[in-house]
Amino acid sequence: MFSEDEYRLDFFVDEGFQRKKCDKCGKFFWTRNGERKTCGDPPCDPYTFIGSPIFKSEHTIDEMREHYLSFFESRGHARIKRYPVVARWRDDIYLTIASIADFQPFVTSGQVPPPANPLTISQPCIRLDDLDSVGRSGRHLTTFEMMAHHVFNTREKEHYWKDRTVQLCDELLVGLGMDPMAVTYKENPWAGGGNAGPSVEVMVGGLELATLVFMDLKAAPKGPIQIKGESYEKMNNYIVDTGYGLERFVWASKGSPTIYDAIFPDLVRKVADLAGVEHNLQDAEYAEIFAQNARLAGMVDLDEYSMSDLRAKIAGSIGISPEKLEKTIEPMERIYAVVDHTRCLAYMLGDGIIPSNVKAGYLSRLVIRRTLRLMKELELSLPLAELVEMQIQRLDYSDWQERFVTIKEILDQEEQKYAETLEKGKRLVKKTAEHFKKIGQSIPLVEMISLYDTHGIPPEIARESAQEIGATVELPDNFYSLVAKKRIRAEKEEAKVTLPGKTDLLFYEHPFEQVFDALVLDVTENGAIILDRTLLYPEGGGQPTDHGTLEKEGRVFQVVDVQKSGDVVLHNLATPEGHGLKKGDRVQGHVDMHRRMAHARHHTATHLVHDSAKRVLGKHVWQAGAQKSENRARLDISHYKRITDAELKAIELEANRRVMEMVPVDTQFLPRTEAEKLFGFELYQGGVPPGKMIRVVSVGSDIEACAGTHVTNTGMIGAIKILRAERIQDGVERIEFAAGEAAVRAGQERDDLLFGAADVLRVPGEQLPKTASRFFEEWKGQQKEIERLKEDLAKARLKTLVAEAEIRDGLKVVVQKMGSADIEELLKAAALLAEQDCVAILGSETGKLVAAVGQSGLAKGIKAGSIIRTAAKLLGGGGGGRPELAQGGGPNVEKLDEALAAGREAMRAGA
């Protein structure tokens, strides 16, 4: 993989380190201890720091973070603020999973300079790959802070590389009081996010405290270097990528039985008290149970090792019964997980994730529902929001009280949805369980995942419901981890083929010019024209393409589609064949300005509507999609509940106020890093544009990276009219609106509807609501009266039918055509006849059939379902139902008499 030369550092040599091969795993490592035989990494070495801290003094989370950042700051590193836990700047992952993810792909690829160099950061990260192990293992977390120092070297300028990186790490550890003989640096190649390089894992007392990666490779399809089955080649730049686990450093400083007791001691005690669980780590035997659990869990792969086997091993190692172990450890595992999960939710919701069924929203709901399930098992009766509040006030949100108002409302709604899901889910699971029980199988894992994914039914509830009817389920210990792994990464888009060359985009500097001269650079195989410059806007960012013409020597060609491919713009003509244009031709282009201005107004209005939605609904609102056209536009936003009519009116009013203020629309190209520093990641509301330079559009307080065309002043938009709002998926609301001339036309269309309805009712428009309401109430009253009269008529008719019923084998039989009665009328009539102890076979001219059997008929074995199946066959259809009532029908209505006769025969056969 990597040769010894990659790891033989001057620092190791000068400090007396030796390179050794681990007797157990065969990996190479560096140590000052000449007697050491193993690499220090479990399972080769156990945790020895529990009860025997690595560092000389205890640190809290805040103290350790500050110590780390100050250490690197004093050694020439710029301290930068953390990035959000939702990776807004990435299109391949939803959550921030490592500090280096902050700088991928643009900084690591060399396209964009870093925000500082070298830098240090403490980045909250979320990884749900091991969700089921949280609480159980004593060490797993959903959320952790990756303290890091990063250096971005180029071939022209190196800040520092491997030696200085390892030296700084060693100095930090020794300064905290670590025994220099205790540390090992284990060689282990690293790969992730399209990059790779040699790395060392920093092991002390069996605990991996840090990983030091020397990233100098990038993924390449036919690269000469193979790592973990992937091909790589050398990068032009090379990067120091380190990751120090803040929580692990705190754990190492305390030596507590679990990482949870090290980082959340007060919250663990509080939740334990609320659950009525005694948690006394001063009791040596009690503490040793959790310490041994962490030690042994650290030695195995929990995905491959069942919890029952692990428990048996722990019980045997400390000499207690498995029953006592389970009674002691299970409640605390749930408590540890609840405390961890609520911190995860504080970060997720605090950084603006809205629970839903897609993307990051799906992952937040997964954590919410797992937390609620654990709270139910612990019989914790307080709202989930209260536990999240305990966490968020400890985090780095200066405005946490303001954010928490929205977070509480979201969590209260999620609790209600969860309760409703459980009620509906139990019925659905029973149906599924009955099916698999009938065929002699357990409900398979794929079905269990489907029940969760599609219906939100937790696997534990599914198992309980299945067991109630004697069915079994396939439910591994790592179920939630499997579900999370399916949703952690975004689906990869197919790489687009790009064409060589470059087209100058004139429409940014000259948005209102209509005519331009250009040179034909090339003509593609399908007849598209590539020009050296263009005023015609190519489709992108939810904005449709411009239309226009190209002219050459009096011939005019209609441009019906414009697309961008790499740096060139393709002009597709209405007549792609036979146009005669060729490379080197000079043409004159014309823009359809009516279409251009309609798009520009709607695009600028989208910014205002989005900004107004944030003002009215809250800061959590995030653009989930947008589309503009000549006649209207739509904006999809993340929001946790339906937008009310009052809120919609308030959004419309806010947007129109910004129009009337005639705010200048500012557009500028900025270096990506500078833009992010100035405006943050809200820039990427409409997606993440590629490249070093990004176009930033400011429309009032809405500032986004945006490549569309806009007006130069909000007053040019004209009126904005919101047409409607709808929920397009859980957690996403769509607002549809019109701007400018389109808004006027939309208003006129509504006026036409209003006045048209008023004319029909012969009232003035202002009296329409009152009159319509009165008519509706009168209509409802009339409908009730009609229904009553129908029922009276039906009863009178039924009396006649009962009186005229033929008697067969002691049964009253009614076989009757019921005119054009609908299915509801047939069912009602048949049920009433059955109450009179008749056997009824009724049909209508619409091809519907109904049969009902009274108590005497049922006693003789007559079944309504059999009657209907026989009769419906003659109508060319089918049907069925219960023995006492069934329905069916078919298209061959001309055979209704035959069908009724066949039903009668089937009744006789049944009797």
Q: Which of 611, 614, 639 is nearest to 624 (CA)?
A: 639
Name the pLDDT band for 148 (thresholds 50, 70, 90): very high
Residue-wise pLDDT tens digits, 38-47: 999 999 999 9
Report pLDDT digits (tens) over 250-268.
999 999 999 999 999 999 9
- Separation of alpha carbons 6 and 11, rounded Å: 13
Looking at residue 80, the DSSP 8-state letter turns out to be -
What is residue 678's predicted lDDT score, i.e. its pLDDT?
92
Question: pLDDT > 70: what percent of the chain?
Answer: 98
DSSP sequence for 46-58: ----TTS-SSSS-
200 pLDDT band, cuts 50/70/90, is: very high
Distance CA 164, CA 166 (A): 6
Query: Does 234 score more than 70 pLDDT?
Result: yes
Whether the ω angle into residue 891 lies within 30 degrees of 0, i.e. cis, is no
- Tens of pLDDT, residue by residue over 749-781, are 888 888 888 888 888 878 888 888 888 888 888
Average pLDDT of span 658-672: 94
305: confidence class by pLDDT, cuts 50, 70, 90: low
| CB-based contact 182:174 (threshold 8 Å) | no
Q: Give the closest residue to 192 by CA, choosing from 104, 94, 82, 106.
A: 104
pLDDT tens, residue by residue, 167-177: 999 999 999 99
Contacts of 260 (CB under 8 A, 6+ apart): 135, 138, 268, 336, 339, 340
Q: Per-residue pLDDT for 736 more than 60? A: yes
**In this structure, what token pair is assigned to residue 16?**
């007396």
Token output for 856: 């005497």
Is residue 899 within 8 A of residue 871, CB to CB? The reply is yes
- Which residues have C-beta within 8 Å of that of residue 103, sequence separation ≥ 6? 114, 150, 152
pLDDT over 90 (residue 359): no
Residue 149 pLDDT > 60, yes or no?
A: yes
Residue 284 has pLDDT above 70, yes or no: yes
Separation CA 138–CA 152 (nearest Å): 36
Specify the DSSP class assigned to residue 438: H
pLDDT per residue over 604-651, tens digit each?
999 999 999 999 999 999 998 899 999 999 999 999 999 999 999 999
Give the β-pairing of 504-505 and 533-534: parallel
Specify the amino acid at residue 15: E
Task: For residues 167 and 10, give the distance between their C-alpha atoms in angstroms, rounded to a whole number.
Answer: 10
Query: What is the average per-residue pLDDT within 537-563?
Result: 93
Mean pLDDT of the residues in the chain: 91
pLDDT at 143 over 60: yes
Q: Residue 680: pLDDT above 60?
A: yes
Amino acid at 672: R
More confident residue, 240 or 810: 240
Give the mean pLDDT of 396-425: 90
Cis peptide bond prior to 383, omega within 30° of 0: no
Rounded to whole angstroms, the maximal C-alpha distance in the chain is 113
**Where do we find the tokens 């809120």?**
647
Whole-number pLDDT of residue 520:
94
pTM exceeds 0.85 for this model: no
Q: What is the pLDDT of residue 496?
A: 59
843: three-class secondary structure by DSSP: strand
**C-alpha–C-alpha distance, residues 23 and 807, integer Å:** 95
Q: Give the bridge partners for 669, in sequence order.
A: 695
**pLDDT, position 508:** 93
How many Å is the Cα radius of gyration of the chain?
Answer: 36
**Is residue 911's pLDDT more than 70?**
no
Tell me what pLDDT residue 369 has: 94
**Model confidence at 241: pLDDT above 90:** yes
> How far is Cα of residue 875 from the mean position of the Cα atoms in its chain?
50
Q: According to the model, what pLDDT value does residue 251 have?
A: 97
Q: Is the pLDDT of residue 306 over 80?
A: no
Percent of the chain having pLDDT more than 90? 63
- Residues sharing a CB contact under 8 Å with residue 714, sequence separation 6 or more, in sequence order: 604, 608, 658, 659, 661, 662, 663, 664, 665, 699, 700
| pLDDT for position 767 | 83
Check residue 470 and give its pLDDT: 86
Contact 277, 335 (CB under 8 A): yes
Q: Is the pLDDT of residue 309 over 80?
A: no
- pLDDT score of 425: 79
Low-confidence winner among 30-34, 57-61, 602-606, 812-816 (lowest mean pLDDT): 812-816
DSSP state of 495: P
Long-range contacts of 621-624 (CB under 8 A, 24+ apart): 622/352, 622/354, 622/685, 623/685, 623/686, 624/732
Long-range contacts of 66-70 (CB under 8 A, 24+ apart): 67/176, 68/120, 68/122, 68/147, 68/172, 68/244, 68/246, 68/249, 69/120, 69/121, 69/122, 69/147
List all residues 6 or more positions away from 632 whose beta carbon is below 8 Å from its beta carbon.
602, 723, 736, 737, 738, 742, 746
For 216-231, how does the pLDDT look when each residue is reduced to its tens digit (9 = 90+)?
A: 998 888 888 888 788 9
Alpha-carbon gap, residue 737 to 557, rounded angstroms: 33
What is the tens place of the pLDDT at every residue in 329-345? Answer: 999 999 999 999 999 99
**3-class DSSP state for residue 771?**
helix
Give the model's pLDDT for residue 302. 66
The H or E element containing residue 516 is strand 515-523
pLDDT confidence of residue 472? 87
Cβ partners under 8 Å of residue 455, min gap 6? 421, 424, 425, 428
Q: What is the pLDDT of residue 427?
A: 78
pLDDT (average), residues 324-333: 90
224: burial class by Cβ within 10 Å (0-12, 13-18, 19+)? Answer: exposed
Q: What is the pLDDT of residue 354?
A: 93
Q: Which residues pair with 295 in a beta bridge?
A: none
- pLDDT value at position 492? 61
Phi, psi torsion values for 29, nearest 5 degrees: -150, 165
- The DSSP secondary structure of 347-409, one letter per residue, reads HHHHTT----SSHHHHHHHHHHHHHHHHHHHHT--S-HHHHHHHHHTTSS-TTHHHHHHHHHH
Stretch among 462-466, 504-508, 887-891 having the lowest mean pLDDT? 462-466
Peptide bond preceding 118 in cis form (omega within 30 of 0): yes
- Backbone dihedral region for residue 843 (phi beyond 0: left; psi -120 to 50: alpha; all else: beta): beta
Q: What pLDDT score does 304 carry?
A: 66
Residue whose pair of structure tokens reads 């979320």 in the numeric block: 126
Which of residues 796 and 733 earns the better pLDDT score? 733
Q: In what order do the strands lie in the sheet with 693-699?
A: 665-671, 693-699, 702-705
Higher pLDDT, 760 or 9: 9
Residue 719 or residue 91, greater confidence: 719
Whether residue 205 is predicted with pLDDT greater than 80 in this model: the reply is yes
- Looking at per-residue pLDDT, the higher value among 751 and 578 belongs to 751
Interatomic CA distance for residues 628 and 602, integer angstroms: 6
Mean pLDDT of 499-528: 92
User: What confidence score (pLDDT) does residue 491 get?
Assistant: 65
Q: Evaluate whether 160 touches 149 at the Cβ level (below 8 Å).
A: no
| 3-state class percentages of the chain: helix first, strand second, coil last, to nearest 5 | 45, 25, 35
Please give the pLDDT value at position 659. 96
Task: Round to whole Å and give the CA distance between 635 and 612.
Answer: 12
What pLDDT, on a 0 to 100 scale, did the predictor assign at position 869?
92
Separation of alpha carbons 294 and 341, rounded Å:
19
**Contact predicate 874/884, CB 8 Å:** no
Question: Residue 416 burial (CB < 10 Å; 0-12/13-18/19+)?
Answer: exposed
Note the pLDDT tens digit of each residue in 491-510.
665 555 668 889 999 999 99
Tell me, what's the pLDDT at 389? 96
The rounded distance, in Å, linking the Cα atoms of 371 and 499 is 51
Q: CB count, 10 Å around CB of 551?
A: 14
Q: Is the pLDDT of residue 276 over 90?
A: yes
- Segment 370-408, tens digit of pLDDT: 999 999 999 999 999 999 999 999 998 988 998 999 999
